[in-house]
């Protein structure tokens, strides 16, 4: 089975036997998924508490919608949305692993005082200072792949070549280069995540091809993050809107977990937690919680 080295954040280790669920918490009014709009502070606080109760290992806090639709958010407004909230989260949950979803180095630097554990750069180094800021504040770093598009740009007419595998080659090459740069910047490899970043800079066919080749991403030798939850490649595959994409997202999650991904960014924490734990058990990386059935001491149970 494909395996990757462990991810280590805030003294906790995540690997094939202990996959991580990264809960999405958007401090926005215009997230593409209406179920994750937490512009109001009380709503965001409740969402964080619920995510932890349902089994989230990381909380990924963002203040800007990823796509080009929606409101413009400058750096000062993004800081206002995320930095005080992260400070509250750190004070209230000192052991929680907090991630910041941003492409701006200024926002990451401001959030460093809140004890951010991970900087999730979903726009592939659009701000070249961001990786250096992550190293400066002692945070881990997510390397992403966007096909060269700038932040908040939806893909149009994207191509990587005539061979369907060209997109996989581009993803692997880009992630390897980004991971090496992160190490040179001073981030230890056990705090570097690589994310194929499906949908970003990709058609649905591209995303499906990359998902099928998750094992090739895992072969780079870093922990792999897959952010699959309710994305457009799921919606277009099944012809479903965002609020009906749970089952498709979980199917994609199971495939990615089988192929070596160990961190999963998700809107639906409990369902994702159960899926990745079950896949880890099927793979043989995680033992069953109980294994009594058919043993001499087990009571007779009718499973039909």
Alpha-carbon span 254 to 258, nearest angstrom: 6
Alpha-carbon span 16 to 7, nearest angstrom: 10
User: φ and ψ at 89, to 5 degrees?
Assistant: -60, -40
Alpha-carbon span 60 to 101, nearest angstrom: 6
User: φ and ψ at 66, to 5 degrees?
Assistant: -70, -40
Structure tokens at 90: 């750190």
Structure tokens at 77: 């407004």
pLDDT, one tens digit for every residue, the chain (304 residues): 899 999 999 999 999 999 999 999 999 988 888 788 898 999 999 999 999 999 999 999 999 998 878 788 999 999 999 999 999 999 999 999 999 999 999 999 999 999 999 999 999 999 999 999 999 999 999 999 999 999 999 899 999 999 999 999 999 999 999 999 999 999 999 999 999 999 999 999 999 999 999 999 999 999 999 999 999 999 999 999 999 999 999 999 999 999 999 999 999 999 999 999 999 999 999 999 999 899 987 666 565 5
CATH entry 3.40.50.300 includes domain 19-283:
no
| Tens digit of each residue's pLDDT (9 = 90 or more) over 171-227 | 999 999 999 999 999 999 999 999 999 999 999 999 999 999 999 999 999 999 999
Question: Of 57, 73, 140, 143, whose CA–CA distance to 107 is shortest?
Answer: 73
Alpha helix (H) ranges present in 54-121?
Answer: 75-92, 105-112
Task: Give pLDDT, residue 67.
Answer: 81
Other C-beta atoms lying within 10 Å of the C-beta of residue 189: 15
Alpha-carbon span 268 to 56, nearest angstrom: 10
Angle between helical axes of 204-212 and 246-258 (0-180°, round to 10): 40
Angle between helical axes of 269-283 and 246-258 (0-180°, round to 10): 30
Query: Cα-atom radius of gyration of the chain, to the nearest Å?
Result: 19
| Tens digit of each residue's pLDDT (9 = 90 or more) over 68-87 | 787 889 999 999 999 999 99
- Site of tokens 């989230």: 56
Question: Of 111, 112, 137, 118, whose CA–CA distance to 193 is shortest?
Answer: 118
Other C-beta atoms lying within 10 Å of the C-beta of residue 33: 17
Between vectors from CA 89 to CA 86 and to CA 90, what angle results, nearest 5°? 90
Instruction: Give the dihedral sign, CA 220/221/222/225.
Output: positive
Domain boundaries, the chain: 19-283
């Amino acid at each position: 089975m494909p395996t990757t080295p462990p991810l280590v954040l805030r003294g906790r280790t995540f690997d094939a036997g202990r996959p991580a669920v990264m809960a999405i918490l958007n401090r926005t009014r215009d997230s593409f998924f209406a179920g994750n709009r937490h512009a109001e502070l009380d709503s965001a606080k409740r969402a964080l508490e619920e995510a932890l109760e349902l089994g989230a290992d990381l909380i990924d806090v963002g203040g800007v919608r990823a796509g080009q639709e929606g409101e413009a958010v400058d750096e000062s407004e993004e800081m206002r949305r995320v930095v005080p909230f992260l400070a509250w989260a750190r004070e209230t949950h000192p052991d929680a692993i907090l991630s910041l979803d941003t492409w701006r180095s200024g926002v990451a630097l401001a959030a460093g005082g809140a004890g951010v554990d991970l900087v999730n750069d979903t726009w592939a180094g659009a701000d070249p200072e961001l990786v250096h800021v992550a190293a400066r504040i002692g945070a881990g770093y997510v390397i992403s792949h966007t096909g060269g598009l700038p932040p908040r740009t939806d893909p149009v007419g994207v191509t990587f070549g005539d061979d369907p595998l060209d997109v996989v080659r581009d993803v692997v090459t880009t992630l390897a280069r980004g991971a090496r740069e992160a190490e040179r910047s001073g981030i230890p490899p056990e705090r570097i995540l690589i994310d194929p970043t499906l949908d970003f800079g990709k058609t649905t066919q591209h995303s499906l091809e990359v998902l099928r080749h998750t094992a090739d991403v895992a072969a780079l030798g870093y922990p792999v993050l897959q952010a699959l939850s309710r994305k457009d490649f799921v919606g277009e595959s099944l012809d479903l809107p965002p609020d009906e994409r749970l089952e498709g997202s979980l199917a994609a999650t199971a495939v990615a977990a089988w192929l070596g991904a160990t961190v999963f960014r998700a809107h639906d924490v409990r369902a994702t937690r159960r899926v990745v734990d079950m896949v880890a058990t099927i793979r043989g990386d995680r033992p069953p919680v109980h294994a009594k059935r058919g043993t001499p001491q087990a009571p007779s149970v009718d499973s039909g």
